[in-house]
Structure 1
Amino acid sequence: MRSEEITAILGPVDEALIAAIVQTGASAEELAQAWAWVCADDALIGEGRPLPSGRVAELIDLLIAEDDRDEPIVD
């Protein structure tokens, strides 16, 4: 997958995340599935979809970790 494909799915992201996603060997379809889970996991579970595994689950972990770094720390 190329960085253009990644940013087409996720929007602007940093180079470190792009590199991590490329290293997974995932396809654009797998990234789109992972992004859908990150954005609407309750809805997908409600539809009866099985929990993600394999590369999709790995991508979800990367995306969630990146999202957690973007949140401000509240004291």
Structure 2
Amino acid sequence: MTHDDIISVLGPVDETVIADIASSGATIEELREAFAWIGADEALVNEGRPLPSARVVALIDLLEAPDDEDEP
């Protein structure tokens, strides 16, 4: 997956995130699926879609914002 592929799915994101995604070995289809799960996980489950693969879950982890629990 190229830099431009990643930007075409996610829009402008941090270069570190782009590098992490590019080095993950994921396909652009997996990135699109991860992005869809982030935006509408309940809707996808309600549609009866299978749960995401391990690689898609890894992409979701890269893309989700960190929890605020770590902040003082």
TM-score (norm 2): 0.87
Structure 1: gaps spanning 5 or more residues: none
SS in 2 for 1:24: coil
2:9 is matched with which residue? 9
Change (3 A) 1:74 1:23: closer
Query: 1:35 maps to which residue?
Result: 35
TM-score in terms of structure 1 length? 0.84
CA distance in structure 1 between the aligned counterparts of 2:39 and 2:18, rounded to whole angstroms: 18
Which runs of at least 4 in structure 1 moved beyond 6 Å after TM superposition?
none
Unaligned runs of 5+ residues in structure 2 are none
Quick check: 1:49 aligned with 2:49? yes
Q: Which has the higher helix share?
A: 1
RMSD, aligned CA: 1.8
* Aligned AA (1:54): A
